[in-house]
Amino acid sequence: MDELRACLHAANQAYYQDDAPFLSDAEYDSFLRELGALEEQYPQWRSPDSPTQRVGATPISSFANTEYRIPMLSLDNVFDAGGFADWWTRLQKSLGEEQQIVLSAEPKFDGLSLNLRYEDGELVQAGTRGDGVHGEDVTHNVRTIRNLPLRLQGEGWPALLEVRGEAVIPTAAFARLNQEREEAGQAPFANPRNAAAGSLRQLDSRITARRPLAFFPWGWGEANQSLGNSHLGVLQRLHDWGFPLLTDLLRPVDSLQAAEEYQQEMAARREQLAFEIDGLVFKLDDLAARERLGFTARAPRWAIAYKFPAHEETTVLRDILASVGRTGVVTPVAVLEPVRVAGVVVSRASLHNLDEVRRKDIRIGDTVLIRRAGDVIPELVQVLVERRPAEAAEWQMPTQCPVCGSEVLRLGDEVAYRCTGGLFCPAQRVGALLHFVARKAMDIQGLGEKLAQQLVDSGLVQSVADLYRLDRETLTQMERMGRRSAENLLAQLVASKDTTMPRFLYALGIPQVGETTAKALAEHFVDLTALMAADEEALQQVPDVGPIVAQAVAHFFAQAHNQEVIRDLLAAAIHWPQPVPKKAGIWSGKQFVLTGTLQNWTRDEAKAEIEKRGGKVMSSVSKKTDYLLLGENPGSKLAQAEKLGIAVLDEEIFSGLLTRDG
């Protein structure tokens, strides 16, 4: 039992303090259950500070009140180096010019403050700050927090001790918690602080027990004996008695410059910390000197909060725009009354899709909470429904593309709505162009993103067919385009005209049509005109083409502008070989898997040789695999193939077979 308790205790420490868990949740739970069963069986060896004491107890019906003889005060704030220097000067003046200032520099945890009362070493009461003098009794919930002692450890602790600090939910655990909530259909928490507060205000502590709360001490209240003469010294003693100590984040600073350095270091580390902080706190370390300075009505004179720019702000949602991306997806974008969030002015935020707009019940005119944390991208967290004006309006997805006027459709059960304009839609042109020239499409090298953008912006290329009208003169006028590169590109364009039907179909960028579907369509219809004329029913005859793909294909070919682009491309002399009637190849019906690097073929070339002979190339080895084609430095597929007794062809045998087959 001791061993289990020690292990679970160390696991808590690793999880909450070091952010380096060594037990999975399932392992933790199973150890906890094992310990619980033993404690049930051998009550004489129970321990009051056992991790089993933290699983929650019978729900209470309401919160009792707490009262603090030493009030839980607030802190004064500064927001920049100037404000901080002023405070330092004032502090130096009140202490007397000859007194050496030493401050304890600490993170300002963005959580919920708690007062933990220990009598004879036992945690007897835990309360929230409330108005500073009266708080709420949340002892039943605080007992479930895994990284605080239910009974003080070590020795030398006062018989009466109030420890003060912050309850937080670490960032990674918060993300997991919200993901679980969304999967369960519950509303996610807006931020870790709300999650921590919500978790501590549960009447049923079994719910709190499942929330990943952690506690970090930053001070103390009542104590019936002196705790020493240094603040950092007290934090160290609290650590000896069982509380976490963030050694890496705390330090003494003895000059304005050292304090500023600490501020800069922490500002840079802010996003990487295991939990959210909203600033720093600097406190005079000398406890006797604190006594002399005392308090204002609200806050101590010996401490200051140096705040970071806030991660969250509220602002007004002026409008919602439908933005058409390169692939035709129509995304709702929030147009915001510009607001500064964590140091950057935010005026737009993606709302992702219509489902999201409905789920968050976002209406034009709403006051909304904007958050910009860790990942820099601003996010609309939630609507403040209580501030919704009467005329706030629901937003509708446009039925026509705001850029090109084509129909906007939601295909099958896709979340996204798409503009069906394809190549015809200016918003999609650069994307369509890059897709058209891609290696697996028309394979035109020398046309990158920058050039594609220039060609579209200058109006030279409105449809992909315009590519084939470019000449050397026009091309050399583009930025960073010399004569040599222009000529290379023109040669590539000419060469690309000799293509295959699957490549051509894939290059058109028909929604839902990838490489494999393009190949299936070409094989089934053989003739382009027949494919273009096929209705959805006929399209569904193609292997692996379901109703959604059929709808997308039929819709694409029905658009007059798509027909026009295809006509233009064929007029530019794009062509492909007509298929020779398939003779049964040497590998018909055989399945290949490739591994490692071949010396004389690229993977695509080898694949083409195999397919020409009726074989198929699969991505992973299975019982159905006939041959493994082996290159240099093979992966784990070789071992798998050997285990399954699959024939392995090395490159030499493979090329021999090809030569014999002609």
Catalytic sites, residue numbers: 108
Q: Is 443 left (phi over 0), alpha (psi -120 to 50) or beta?
A: left
Asked if 73 interacts with ligand IVH (CB under 6 A), we say yes
Q: What angle, 0 to 180 degrees and rounded to 10, lies between the N-to-C axes of helices 192-200 and 171-183?
A: 70
Asked if 108 interacts with ligand IVH (CB under 6 A), we say yes
Q: Would you say 132 or 402 has its CB closer to ligand IVH?
A: 132
Strands (E) across 372-520 are located at: 379-383, 393-394, 408-409, 417-419
Asked if 300 interacts with ligand IVH (CB under 6 A), we say yes
Q: Would you say 108 or 371 has its CB closer to ligand IVH?
A: 108
Asked if 194 interacts with ligand IVH (CB under 6 A), we say no
Q: Would you say 88 or 109 has its CB closer to ligand IVH?
A: 109
Asked if 74 interacts with ligand IVH (CB under 6 A), we say yes
Asked if 195 interacts with ligand IVH (CB under 6 A), we say no
Asked if 75 interacts with ligand IVH (CB under 6 A), we say yes
Q: Would you say 74 or 125 has its CB closer to ligand IVH?
A: 74
Q: What angle, 0 to 180 degrees and rounded to 10, lies between the N-to-C axes of helices 2-16 and 25-41?
A: 150
From residue 280, alpha-carbon distances to 26, 78, 442 in Å are 36, 10, 57
Answer for which of 305, 370, 452, 475 binds ligand IVH (CB under 6 A) is 305
Binding window for ligand IVH (CB under 6 A); candidates: 7-15, 260-268, 300-308, 374-382: 300-308
Smallest distance, ligand IVH to C-beta of residue 232, A? 12
Give how many residues touch ligand IVH by CB under 6 A. Answer: 15
Question: 585 is written with which tokens?
Answer: 């190849």
Q: CA triplet 375, 379, 380: central angle to 5 degrees? A: 165
Smallest distance, ligand IVH to C-beta of residue 75, A? 4
Q: Would you say 76 or 487 has its CB closer to ligand IVH?
A: 76
| 434 to 453: interface string for ligand IVH, x by CB under 6 A | --------------------
Asked if 349 and 370 count as a contact pair (C-beta separation under 8 A), the reply is yes
Binding window for ligand IVH (CB under 6 A); candidates: 91-99, 298-306, 325-333, 588-596: 298-306
Binding window for ligand IVH (CB under 6 A); candidates: 297-305, 354-362, 373-381, 602-610: 297-305
Q: Would you say 273 or 403 has its CB closer to ligand IVH?
A: 273
Smallest distance, ligand IVH to C-beta of residue 270, A? 14
Question: 43 is written with which tokens?
Answer: 């009550």
Answer for which of 232, 253, 281, 434 binds ligand IVH (CB under 6 A) is 281
DSSP 575-622: B-PPPPPPP--TTTT-EEEEESB-SS--HHHHHHHHHHTT-EEESS--
From residue 241, alpha-carbon distances to 58, 155, 245, 417, 523 in Å are 29, 7, 11, 59, 75
Asked if 294 and 284 count as a contact pair (C-beta separation under 8 A), the reply is no
Smallest distance, ligand IVH to C-beta of residue 198, A? 17
Smallest distance, ligand IVH to C-beta of residue 72, A? 6
**Residues 143, 118: Cα–Cα separation, whole Å:** 12
Q: Would you say 237 or 360 has its CB closer to ligand IVH?
A: 237
Binding window for ligand IVH (CB under 6 A); candidates: 106-114, 225-233, 342-350, 361-369: 106-114
Asked if 218 interacts with ligand IVH (CB under 6 A), we say yes
Smallest distance, ligand IVH to C-beta of residue 248, A? 14
**Residues 337, 349: Cα–Cα separation, whole Å:** 11
User: Which 126-185 positions form the footprint of ligand IVH (CB under 6 A)?
Assistant: 129, 166
Using CB atoms within 10 Å of the CB of residue 174, give its burial: 0 to 12 exposed, 13 to 18 middle, 19+ buried.
buried
Q: Would you say 157 or 218 has its CB closer to ligand IVH?
A: 218
Smallest distance, ligand IVH to C-beta of residue 18, A? 19
Tabulate helix, strand, coil % of the chain (nearest 5): 40, 20, 40
**Residues 140, 208: Cα–Cα separation, whole Å:** 9
Closest CA to 361 of 386, 324, 341: 386
Asked if 275 interacts with ligand IVH (CB under 6 A), we say no
Binding window for ligand IVH (CB under 6 A); candidates: 104-112, 240-248, 537-545, 625-633: 104-112
Asked if 115 interacts with ligand IVH (CB under 6 A), we say no
Smallest distance, ligand IVH to C-beta of residue 277, A? 8
User: Which 22-41 positions form the footprint of ligand IVH (CB under 6 A)?
Assistant: none
Q: Is 352 left (phi over 0), alpha (psi -120 to 50) or beta?
A: left
**Residue number of the CB atom closest to ligand IVH:** 113
Smallest distance, ligand IVH to C-beta of residue 19, A? 18
Instruction: Look at the block and give the residue holding tokens 């037990």.
Output: 23
Asked if 223 interacts with ligand IVH (CB under 6 A), we say no
Handedness of CA 197, 198, 203, 207 (dihedral sign): negative
Closest CA to 285 of 231, 321, 337: 231
Using DSSP, state whether 162 is helix, strand or coil.
Answer: strand
Backbone torsions φ then ψ of 398, nearest 5 degrees: -65, 150
Which one-letter amino acid corresponds to residue 368?
Answer: V
Asked if 219 interacts with ligand IVH (CB under 6 A), we say yes
Q: Would you say 74 or 350 has its CB closer to ligand IVH?
A: 74
Smallest distance, ligand IVH to C-beta of residue 478, A? 56
Closest CA to 79 of 318, 369, 340: 340
Answer for which of 15, 28, 84, 109 binds ligand IVH (CB under 6 A) is 109
Pairing of strands 103-109, 277-284: antiparallel
Asked if 246 interacts with ligand IVH (CB under 6 A), we say no
**Residues 413, 548: Cα–Cα separation, whole Å:** 9
Smallest distance, ligand IVH to C-beta of residue 71, A? 8
What is the binding site for ligand IVH (CB under 6 A)? Answer: 73-75, 106, 108-109, 113, 129, 166, 218-219, 281, 300, 303, 305
